[in-house]
Chains A and B, each alone.
Chain A
Amino acid sequence: MRALTYQGPYRVEVENKPDPRIEHPQDVILKVTRAAICGSDLHLLHGLVPDTRVGCTFGHEFTGEVVETGREVSQLKKGDRVVVPFNISCGTCFYCQRGLTGNCENSNPASDVASGVFGYSHTTGGFDGGQAEYVRVPFADVGPMKIPDDMDDESVLFLSDIFPTGYQGAEMGEIKGGETVVVFGAGPVGLFTMKSAWLMGAGRVVAVDHVPERLAFAAHYAKVETVNFKEVDDVVLHLKDMFDGRGPDVCVDAVGMEAEGSRAHRVLGLGLKMEAGAPTVLTWCINTVRKGGNVSIVGVYGPPWNFIPIGTAMNKGLTLRMNQCNVRRYMPRLLEHIRSGRVDAKAIITHRFSLEQAPEAYHLFAQKRDGCIKCVLAPHGHA
């Protein structure tokens, strides 16, 4: 089959590799119909995630059609259309039983810091991802959700990661009604965090970014106020001033380890690798949020450490909440939001490509050129 493969930092290509096969009785093989490129794929592309092996196929946001089933699979059959959570979750371990499928302990031998994830290096289990013609999906009766007949794949594609992740980001902010919320990062996850904050009854929502097109998109799509941190002297003071000098009730980090905004962190984290990327946004969150407020982290950071002002967080009495998203539990409710028209998830797709054009898509997305918000690949055509 054809598949996107990693060739080293900043280099991906599409090449032939063997078709995936059933390796466990609970596996299915999917023919991939849509595969999105995620902001966190850029951390892989840039060589920042340990144990990203040459030849690795990325892609953890995809929909597909079942073409082969393992002998223990009972809920899916050939021809079913499904959307698949990025987490690989067994459904029976200590964590899965409590709904924490993002922390499953039965799918990743390489590390205890994450569950198995599709196409996300060997640090998350060494599974190939969905930016290919076919993909192996383990625990097929637990994770994948059948796509309703009256809905197309693109409408539900983002239930695989970014909509649930954004929603959980707002949820961890513990909004009770009327709160002020600042979302750092107007990328796809940030956009869904903003929408979700409104759904939970936030009183005021502000987006912070530095890409003018993205801020304009956020203002239009999520009806938020916007702040371009490159256009203000000191983003922390600016935001505090916007909220009575105290700061907002909730700050959400929807950026993670490749943040702009601090030369020091970029040199230390991305240049010298003395910390796992640049925790600039997390630092801003801690400094900006009001005392006693909530900081919610959905941006991805790598092991083993980062320089963050934990003493400030303690002295301000903050609640810090974070996790990989437990995608499966969010799918039914968020499907309702999509279906009812409250959230038009598909509307954030700005670019569509064939699988062969994937390297071009990566570079366009990484450089945020051409107003790019979200790229979607169609490995078997856009029909």
Chain B
Amino acid sequence: MTTKTQKTKAKAKSHSKRRREAMPDRPIPGAAADLEPSSRPGVPMEMEAQPLAGARAPIEPQHADVPVFKHAGRKQMPPVFGTAQPPKGLSGVLRKVAYGYPDHWARHWMVLLVADRVDVWEHRLRRSLPWGPATVAALVAGGLTWRRLSRA
């Protein structure tokens, strides 16, 4: 019994010695400061369940006056969500279709990627609309002036 304990102790000792030898002599301030797992904030990965400091329950549900999508694999809306850039136009329709599929379906993501490209084109089109007629008018006016000047 004694020998076994001694052996274990000796083994542990040589192990820790090996570790210390392997430790670098690096000019890093505080090297090995967090060698002890207990000094690492993420160990163990899952803590004993308890509400975090400052948390308040139950959480009042947020209201939105714009459409906010939830993917079909989720039962209900979470109490808090973002309301930025509400869906609109054809990209909005496509996004609605995408969120009709649960998020573990590839088509959920594929339709979203297509919607993203459509969104960019819709946006460019919308932006160019007020400029379109103005540009045409400018070109026509410029052309007329040019013709008049070159005739003179």
Contact = CB atoms under 8 A, between A and B. Distances in A.
Interface of A: 7-9, 23-26, 47, 50-57, 72, 74-75, 88-92, 94, 96-101, 105-113, 116, 122-123, 125-128, 138-139, 141-142, 167-168, 171-172, 176-178, 195-196, 198-204, 222-223, 273, 302-305, 326, 328-330, 332-334, 337, 340-343
A126 B84 contact: yes
For the complex of A and B, 6 pairs with smallest distance between CB atoms? A91-B55, A178-B22, A126-B82, A342-B30, A127-B82, A141-B54
B133 interface: no
Contacts, number: 231
Contacts of B50: 97
B99 to A, nearest CB: 7
A112 B21 CA distance: 46
A303 B103 contact: yes
B77 interface: yes
B103 A112 contact: yes
B23 to A, nearest CB: 6
A201 B21 CA distance: 11
A126 B81 contact: yes
Contact of B84 (A8, A57, A91, A343): A57
A226 to B, nearest CB: 15
Interface stretch (B3-11, B62-70, B134-142, B143-151): B62-70
Given A198-B28, A200-B32, A171 B82 contact: no
A109 B71 contact: yes
Interface residues on B, range: 35 or more
Given A56-B84, A109-B68, A126-B84, A72 B56 contact: yes
Given A96-B55, A126-B83, A128-B84, A178 B18 contact: yes
Contact of A26 (B29, B56, B104, B112): B56
Contacts of A75: 54
Most buried by A among B51, B60, B116, B124: B116
Contact of B83 (A23, A54, A123, A337): A23
B22 A96 contact: no
Contacts of A341: 29
A133 B103 CA distance: 33
Contact of B80 (A112, A138, A168, A304): A138
Interface string B66-105: 0011110110011111111100000100010011000110
Contacts of B115: 51
Contacts of B108: 304
Contact of B28 (A7, A108, A195, A203): A195
Contacts of B120: 7-9, 54
B12 to A, nearest CB: 13
A142 B54 contact: yes
A195 B47 CA distance: 25
B130 interface: no
B82 A125 contact: yes
B129 interface: no
Contact of A92 (B20, B39, B59, B70): B59
Contacts of A171: 40, 42-43
A51 B95 contact: yes
A94 B49 CA distance: 8
Nearest to A273: B113
12 contacts: A24-B60, A56-B85, A92-B51, A98-B48, A100-B46, A109-B74, A127-B82, A177-B22, A198-B26, A201-B23, A329-B42, A340-B29
Given A122-B82, A178-B19, A199 B32 contact: yes
A307 to B, nearest CB: 14
Contact of B19 (A24, A72, A108, A177): A177
Nearest to A178: B22
Given A116-B80, A177-B32, A223-B26, A106 B59 contact: yes
Given A139-B80, A201-B23, A96 B33 contact: no
Contact of A51 (B81, B112, B124): B112
Nearest to B103: A111
Most buried by A among B41, B77, B103: B41
A101 B52 contact: yes
Nearest to B77: A109
